[in-house]
Amino acid sequence: MKVRGKVAVITGAGGGGQGRAVARRLARDDASVIVSDISERGGRETVRLIEEQRGRAAFFRADVGVESEVRELLAFAERTLGGVDILINNAGPYFHGAPFAKWMETIQANLMGTVYGTLHGIEAMRRRGGGAIVNFGSTSAVGHGFKHSSSPPYDIAKAGIARLTTTLAWLGEKEKIRVNCIVPDWVDTDEVRGYVESLTPKQCEEEGVPLPLTPLDDIADAVMDLIGNEDLAGRVLVWWTGQKRGLIPVGDLGYARLE
C-alpha cells in the first residue's frame, strides 16, 4: 500500500515515543493523520509538529480501554477525512510498581484497546475496500521465561496482541485488510531513555540494557514497511535492539525444542 492520500489513525501519539514518530512519518509521506491520545496537550503538540512540516492532521482524544471511545475515534476519522485506510494500535501504558498492581488497567488498555481498535478498524476498512493495521507488541512477551518485564499483565497483554495478529491473517486474502504486528525491544522513547539514564553502568549490565537504544525513526521505517508490503498479513516482526529485525516464520510452533 502506498500511503499518499490515505487516512491513518494512530493511538498513543501524544508523547515522545513511537506513536508520534509514526504519525509524523506518515504525514511526511502525504497521509492525512488522526492523532489520538488521552493527553490532549500531547496530542495537539503532535498535530502542531505535523502541520509545521505542512502535513495534514487532526486530534481526537480517546482512551483506548473504553470501547465506545475507540468507536468514536474511528467514526471521527470517517466523518472528518472520509474513511480509515491505516490504523496503528500503539497506545498501551506500562505501570511501574509491584508485579500484582494494576492488572486490569494494564490488560484493558493494552490488549483490549488493541482488540477494540482492530475490530472497529476492520469495519471502517471494509467500507474502503481494504486497509492495513499495525499492532505493537513487546519482546518482553516473547519466549517462555526469557527477559520478561516486571509487569506480568503487560507481558500477558502483549503476548495476546501477537496472537490476535496471527489469527487474523486470513483477512489479507479475503478482504484485503492486512493485520501485522511489530515487536520492538528497547526503543529510544522519552520514557525509556529517562529510565536508562537513571541507571548506573553496572545496573544497565545487570538488566541487560542494550545500547544504543533503537532509534524512533527506525521504528517508523519498520512500521512503514509493514504497511507497504502487501505480501504481509498476520505476521509478527521481532526486532531485538542491536540486531537485524526479522519475521517469525509462518507455522512456527512457538518453541525451539521440547525437553
Q: Is 255 a catalytic residue?
A: no
**pLDDT tens figures, 4-27:** 999 999 999 999 999 999 999 999
What would the pLDDT profile of 92-132 be if each residue is shown by its tens digit? Answer: 999 888 888 899 999 999 999 999 999 999 999 999 999 99
Q: Which of 21, 12, 104, 15 is nearest to 64 (CA)?
A: 12
| Residue 215, helix vs strand vs coil | coil
pTM above 0.75, yes or no: yes
Architecture of domain 7-187+215-243: 3-Layer(aba) Sandwich (3.40)
The one catalytic residue in 116, 154, 195, 255 is 154
Report domain extents, the chain. 7-187+215-243
Give the integer Cα–Cα distance in Å for 27 and 22: 9
- Quote the CA–CA distance of 142 and 156 in Å, as a whole number: 10
The per-residue pLDDT for range 24-77, each reduced to its tens digit, is: 999 999 999 999 999 999 999 999 999 999 999 999 999 999 999 999 999 999
